[in-house]
Amino acid sequence: MSNQHFTFTMLKEPHIRSSLKLRYVASAKYGGDWLSIPHAHGYTELFYIIGGDGQFQIGDDLFPVCANQLVIVNPNIIHTEVSYEAHPLEYIVVGIDGVELSMQENGDDRFCIFSFPATDNTLSCMQNILYEMQNRDLEYETLCQAYMDILIVQLMRIARLHVAQAPENARINHQCASVRHYIDNHYKEPLTLDRLAANAKVNKFYLSHAFKEEFGVSPINYMISCRIREGRRLLAETDHSLSQIAHILGFSSASYFSQSFRKAEGIGPMEYRRQKQSAAGEP
């Protein structure tokens, strides 16, 4: 007769449970009412692709996804999902507060995509969370938290994920990320700090400080950098005059555009245009 006996002793509170909190769980499948709008959250999201094909937009980049892949998007990262109509995208998503996840061999700390073998039980763990949230039976909260703990530990083992506690100022980061996204889409408009603060529903002095703390630049200077970036393209690819480009970009005058461009690029806009034309072999 052989016998094995192991005594379990909890030496300390598990570091995973001390910082993680399940925020929500949901299931989604592509349909005609699918709204693909870039957005950000102050928490981490884990998307398990059940079926279909599509893309995840992370910032300005697109990444293909398919069944049996897990997409992890860390807090305050602008993202959205895009489905192919021929093969509708379907997934379960779990939102978790207080944690950032990254693959150790992947240098991008914004997100990661991991492909699972068909036998992996990560999906069943997320389905159990969904089931408990739907039925809300006795002590369902305890089970949901336990399944989430198991899910994270499994990912640490299988996908070699690195787990880090998310900054406590996640709400600040989320507000700043939302303001940056708004500027990315409206930088040609006459934006002011007052308008940006009103849109984010925060004090303008608080916004200016938090935004610079987060991104190393003030909201208005970030807006100007967006305009200069587009200005480089217009100078290189069009024959618009400086006045026309200044108007398109939202500058009050051609001289202000020229001054801002020279400060950012180290050369004036017309010299920049000549250099680009010369490099392209234009007369």
Chain Cα centroid distance, residue 274: 37
Class of the domain covering 170-279: mainly alpha
Residue 70 binned pLDDT confidence (cut-offs 50, 70, 90): very high
Q: Is the pLDDT of residue 118 over 80?
A: no
Residue at token pair 């499994």: 154
Residue 27 binned pLDDT confidence (cut-offs 50, 70, 90): very high
Span 193-198, average pLDDT: 91
Q: How many CB atoms lie within 10 A of CB 211?
A: 28
Where does 34-147 show beta strands of DSSP type E? 44-51, 53-58, 61-66, 69-73, 79-83, 90-97, 99-103, 111-115
* pLDDT-wise least confident of 47-51, 101-105, 121-125, 161-165: 101-105
- CATH architecture designation of domain 15-165: Sandwich (2.60)
Q: Distance (Å, rounded) from C-alpha 147 to C-alpha 223? A: 43
Crossing angle of helices 219-237 and 204-215, rounded to 10°: 60
Question: What is the number of alpha carbons within 13 Å of residue 129 lying toward its C-beta?
Answer: 28
* pLDDT tens-digit readout, 222-252: 999 999 999 999 999 999 999 999 999 999 9
**What is the pTM for the complete model shown?**
0.60
Contacts of 251 (CB under 8 A, 6+ apart): 227, 257, 260
Burial of 105 (0-12, 13-18, 19+ CB in 10 A): exposed
SS3 91: strand
106: tokens are 């992947």
**Single-letter code of the amino acid located at 237:** E
Q: Distance (Å, rounded) from C-alpha 229 to C-alpha 142? A: 50
Q: Distance (Å, rounded) from C-alpha 144 to C-alpha 128? A: 8
Crossing angle of helices 269-279 and 219-237, rounded to 10°: 40
Closest CA to 43 of 173, 132, 218: 173
Q: What is the pLDDT of residue 140?
A: 94
Q: How many CB atoms lie within 10 A of CB 18?
A: 10
Q: What is the pLDDT of residue 30?
A: 84
Contact 48, 130 (CB under 8 A): no
Q: How far is CA 206 from CA 175, 191, 218, in A?
A: 11, 17, 11
Sorted by where each begins, the domain ranges of the chain are 15-165, 170-279
